[in-house]
Chains A and B, each alone.
Chain A
């Protein structure tokens, strides 16, 4: 069976008529999740995995956006409290709570979300850049919005999340000294 396929493919390549199969679905895939009733999107490419919330260790005097640290297969990584970062009310663990493990370059970190809602394919034309001046301070971690099926959902920018945490860390250090 497989050998047949290969033969067919080889035959096709030999004749020089190389057909590139069309993509299954246009656009990029996004993960939709909820934080304090707000639905947000994040590019699936940015997400390494989704885990049940592991026990989090509290880090005293850490940046307020950080909830603490978790261990994922022996590696210790910080967890970002998105509710606090975006200025929502306090939340607590529920059966639907998940931690998204994100992978910006080499430092992984976790992101606590209240609920995963769906995976969606979005074409480029439904995604718009969001001018930062329209957003309040807490929504600075959002860079784009997507309109689909009648709802407008902000798209979370992992780099901006990182920047916010770093900036806060530096400010904290200045304050301490």
Chain B
């Protein structure tokens, strides 16, 4: 099936988030199980929610195979939730596979259509589900048998049998309805809430068995009669009373005639029993729902409300479209999907009223979809009123109340409208104030003790109300936090980028204002105007800073999303290598720019692979070295001012300095006599093609990984640093600027032109006398404390010597600022990792925050330049790509081959 592009993007975005959450919860569960702890309820619930959301997504995208596979997994989890089954480590293995497959299916461009992936997923889902079958097989089997028996004793026709069989693997309740009046009138109402499975007629009475997702009390109100909740077991027929109980033992059919006579009388008593039943069922729901409500994560609720609002809006639109053009089936399809999504999520969060109402509406839509109903304007009106009710429930939820309404009048109205009958439910309008009154009573009543008797009273009159009160009591604690929850909004990244760019422009404007203010101060010192201007500029600057901070925060996401994925990488790889490795994650909550988080994954995978493959020893070696059998990789993130640092640290054997050195000499990277510090030697492993591994394994050894790491990090304007102690471990630190959009830079002037050097690369700027420069052939060096730093003229690096001859249209007001004082040289020490280079410049201008922009497609590739930026006065300053400048310089100095060419 072809998905539309929008749909695919949406699916990808949503599922990526869910899969990430899945990875996170998996990791927590894995940790708990490995430590021998039991899984917490909240973890399992989270797992369930994620899978359910994924299922919902698949349903919207119309991917039936995914839905069924996820449903299987959910089935098992339902049992886990009901404490009928326990998740073990082997289940988690399967879950890990499932997670990986889901990731592939959803993220890959054609993943959702990939047969082999889907087949794999189905297989894994079955394996996962089978975990429960071992424990449950006996029970299930017998239940199934009984169900069959129930069916056989009713002697089904073939169409009834298929109805029955299709029911047997669903989770609705099954009800029996017996009546002395013919069933015709009730059939439609039942159709509006569920599926009719069996209809039986005896001379004096009728039986209808149907499946519905509604609970007992609601069903009761819709069909207005003695409805029984039946079990899927044969015994439950007994609860139907005579004469139906006789179906249990067909041999006793002789009694049937007598029993039938007594039936009319018994019907009276029946009603009494039903009420009792009703109460006990209500109790059951009370318990179930209070659990799910206290579990409902306020964030999820807020999420749900946001999504549902959108869905409701589109739904209303579609309904109106449908009214205009009843023959068009597309609106119905979209309505159906939206209704289903709201229902599903509401059910998941335990808001049964919303769920029931949606279900009823969905049923109506279903029949419209199948062409059994036509969209009359009356029906549409009623449906719209129904969605208004849903909205009302949302409002209750939003204000922290438990969403409950007496839905019966409305459901009545709906079924009437379906039949094309004028709505009789005149008390419909009353039900709203009534319900809200009830909602108000309960918080005031405060204590559970007080509300209990009230609940009992209300129970008889309005069976829904008791649930509401118990909700109130249960969620009393959650209420405050619910009130606090704020909405979230999903924003197109492009729009956000546009906003970030605009803020960048404003930052430039601020600099421009500051310049004007400065000019004003020097020219008209002490005038009111200049004071006012100074004040405004100050204020503007402060607000600008705030805006900038906030806009940056908008783009921030926790880096943990990426980190948690690595637990799987570690697990797989360590198994592959026969090593025991534990991944410790620190600072996963640190927030980075979204692009950074996305880009950082790749290099980190390489580092982690290296740590496992080369760093950490086998358990035997570790024991021999007096370490614990289990190696540890510590992945941590932190923020220091304007830079963030991510480190990968292992407690393995460390780097073998001699081997790296020998290899580097062999590869011609360094000369045999070269005196290198340890850190310089360590940094050799970032050279392309450098590997000390004797043999290439499928994990590592080609010498590509570290090169990739360095290239990627440099692309992100960051630096990599590596430190290692033999026998103790290796630590790689990645330092990155906190955001890519606005780069603080040091502005310098060279040959009358202005250039920016990103501050992350600037180590220091120093003024020296020309006499301090040491010359060696053509190269110049300067001794700086303990380090010898090569010195290069900025103008030579960029080839600015041609400027005089080729730059014809230079503005007159520039160039003149060049001071020809030669007694002091100014140079900026730039560095990447351990490499340092001194750039001689004409003048330091100062620090400025700039937005780097491309120079345009026309300009041919200038590797030394990262781009340009617009200065406060409208001029363009070029920004240096320090990584490239240092790279080019060192290859010129080190590589003899290059020089001769």
Tell whether, in the assembled complex, residue A107 and residue B857 are in contact, meaning their CB atoms are under 8 Å apart: yes
Chain B positions within 8 Å of A166 at CB level:
858
Tell whether, in the assembled complex, residue A76 and residue B868 are in contact, meaning their CB atoms are under 8 Å apart: yes
Chain B positions within 8 Å of A168 at CB level:
860
Shortest CB-to-CB span from A123 to chain B, Å, is 33
Shortest CB-to-CB span from B661 to chain A, Å, is 32
For residue B799, CB closer than 8 A to chain A, the reply is yes
Tell whether, in the assembled complex, residue A109 and residue B856 are in contact, meaning their CB atoms are under 8 Å apart: yes
For residue A32, CB closer than 8 A to chain B, the reply is no
B residues 726-760 touching A (CB-CB < 8 Å): 753-754
Question: B482-515 vs A: 1/0 string, CB under 8 Å?
Answer: 0000000000000000000000010010000000
For residue A43, CB closer than 8 A to chain B, the reply is no
Chain B positions within 8 Å of A77 at CB level:
856, 858
Tell whether, in the assembled complex, residue A60 and residue B798 are in contact, meaning their CB atoms are under 8 Å apart: yes
Chain A positions within 8 Å of B811 at CB level:
53, 55-56, 93
Give CA–CA (A53, B754) in the complex, Å. Answer: 18
Give CA–CA (A92, B810) in the complex, Å. Answer: 8
Interface size class of A (residues with CB under 8 A): 35 or more
Tell whether, in the assembled complex, residue A62 and residue B859 are in contact, meaning their CB atoms are under 8 Å apart: yes
Chain A positions within 8 Å of B873 at CB level:
55
Give CA–CA (A56, B809) in the complex, Å. Answer: 7
Question: A75-93 vs B: 1/0 string, CB under 8 Å?
Answer: 1111101011000001111
Assuming the contacts A81-B808, A112-B809, asked whether A66 and B799 have C-beta atoms less than 8 A apart, the reply is: no
Tell whether, in the assembled complex, residue A57 and residue B876 are in contact, meaning their CB atoms are under 8 Å apart: yes
Give CA–CA (A57, B859) in the complex, Å. Answer: 13
When C-beta atoms are compared, the residue in chain B nearest to A67 turns out to be B809
Chain B positions within 8 Å of A112 at CB level:
809
Give CA–CA (A141, B333) in the complex, Å. Answer: 58
Chain A positions within 8 Å of B878 at CB level:
57, 59
Give CA–CA (A87, B146) in the complex, Å. Answer: 98
Shortest CB-to-CB span from B868 to chain A, Å, is 5
Tell whether, in the assembled complex, residue A90 and residue B808 are in contact, meaning their CB atoms are under 8 Å apart: yes
Chain B positions within 8 Å of A71 at CB level:
868, 870, 874-876
Tell whether, in the assembled complex, residue A109 and residue B858 are in contact, meaning their CB atoms are under 8 Å apart: yes
Assuming the contacts A57-B868, A57-B875, asked whether A69 and B859 have C-beta atoms less than 8 A apart, the reply is: yes
Shortest CB-to-CB span from B6 to chain A, Å, is 24
Tell whether, in the assembled complex, residue A162 and residue B814 are in contact, meaning their CB atoms are under 8 Å apart: no
When C-beta atoms are compared, the residue in chain A nearest to B854 turns out to be A76
Give CA–CA (A107, B865) in the complex, Å. Answer: 20
Chain B positions within 8 Å of A69 at CB level:
855-856, 859, 868, 876
When C-beta atoms are compared, the residue in chain A nearest to B869 turns out to be A76
For residue A143, CB closer than 8 A to chain B, the reply is no
Tell whether, in the assembled complex, residue A107 and residue B856 are in contact, meaning their CB atoms are under 8 Å apart: yes
For residue A27, CB closer than 8 A to chain B, the reply is no
For residue B862, CB closer than 8 A to chain A, the reply is yes
When C-beta atoms are compared, the residue in chain A nearest to B800 turns out to be A60
Assuming the contacts A63-B860, A69-B855, asked whether A58 and B810 have C-beta atoms less than 8 A apart, the reply is: yes
Shortest CB-to-CB span from B821 to chain A, Å, is 23
For residue B181, CB closer than 8 A to chain A, the reply is no
For residue B802, CB closer than 8 A to chain A, the reply is yes
B residues 821-844 touching A (CB-CB < 8 Å): none
Give CA–CA (A112, B811) in the complex, Å. Answer: 13
For residue A116, CB closer than 8 A to chain B, the reply is no
Q: Given A75, A78, A91, which contacts B809 in the complex, CB threshold below 8 Å? A: A91
Tell whether, in the assembled complex, residue A172 and residue B508 are in contact, meaning their CB atoms are under 8 Å apart: no
Chain A positions within 8 Å of B803 at CB level:
58, 60
For residue A61, CB closer than 8 A to chain B, the reply is yes
When C-beta atoms are compared, the residue in chain B nearest to A169 turns out to be B860
Give CA–CA (A46, B874) in the complex, Å. Answer: 25
Give CA–CA (A91, B864) in the complex, Å. Answer: 29
Q: Given A54, A59, A70, which contacts B862 in the complex, CB threshold below 8 Å? A: A59
When C-beta atoms are compared, the residue in chain A nearest to B751 turns out to be A58
Give CA–CA (A53, B876) in the complex, Å. Answer: 13
Chain A positions within 8 Å of B874 at CB level:
54-55, 71
Give CA–CA (A160, B460) in the complex, Å. Answer: 87
Chain A positions within 8 Å of B860 at CB level:
62-63, 168-170, 172-173
Tell whether, in the assembled complex, residue B806 and residue A78 are in contact, meaning their CB atoms are under 8 Å apart: no
Q: Given A61, A84, A92, which contacts B798 in the complex, CB threshold below 8 Å? A: A61
Considering residues B807, B808, B814, B874, which has the most beta carbons from chain A within 10 angstroms of its beta carbon?
B808
Assuming the contacts A55-B814, A59-B878, A69-B876, asked whether A64 and B857 have C-beta atoms less than 8 A apart, the reply is: no
For residue A97, CB closer than 8 A to chain B, the reply is yes
Assuming the contacts A60-B798, A77-B856, asked whether A173 and B808 have C-beta atoms less than 8 A apart, the reply is: no
When C-beta atoms are compared, the residue in chain B nearest to A108 turns out to be B856
For residue B861, CB closer than 8 A to chain A, the reply is yes
For residue A26, CB closer than 8 A to chain B, the reply is no
Tell whether, in the assembled complex, residue B858 and residue A97 are in contact, meaning their CB atoms are under 8 Å apart: no
When C-beta atoms are compared, the residue in chain B nearest to A170 turns out to be B860
Q: Given A54, A60, A91, A107, which contacts B799 in the complex, CB threshold below 8 Å? A: A60
Tell whether, in the assembled complex, residue B812 and residue A78 are in contact, meaning their CB atoms are under 8 Å apart: no
For residue A165, CB closer than 8 A to chain B, the reply is yes
Shortest CB-to-CB span from B578 to chain A, Å, is 46
When C-beta atoms are compared, the residue in chain A nearest to B878 turns out to be A57
Selected A-B contacts with CB under 8 Å, 8 pairs? A54-B875, A66-B858, A66-B859, A74-B870, A78-B855, A84-B808, A91-B809, A92-B808
CB-based closest 9 A-B pairs: A169-B860, A57-B876, A71-B870, A60-B798, A55-B811, A60-B799, A55-B875, A78-B858, A58-B807
Given contacts A55-B875, A58-B810, 15 further A-B contacts (CB under 8 A): A54-B875, A55-B811, A56-B811, A57-B875, A58-B803, A59-B855, A61-B864, A69-B876, A76-B854, A76-B870, A78-B856, A81-B809, A83-B808, A84-B808, A97-B809
Q: Which of A's residues lie within 8 Å of B, judged by CB?
A: 53-64, 66-71, 74-79, 81, 83-84, 90-93, 97, 107, 109, 112, 162, 165-166, 168-170, 172-173
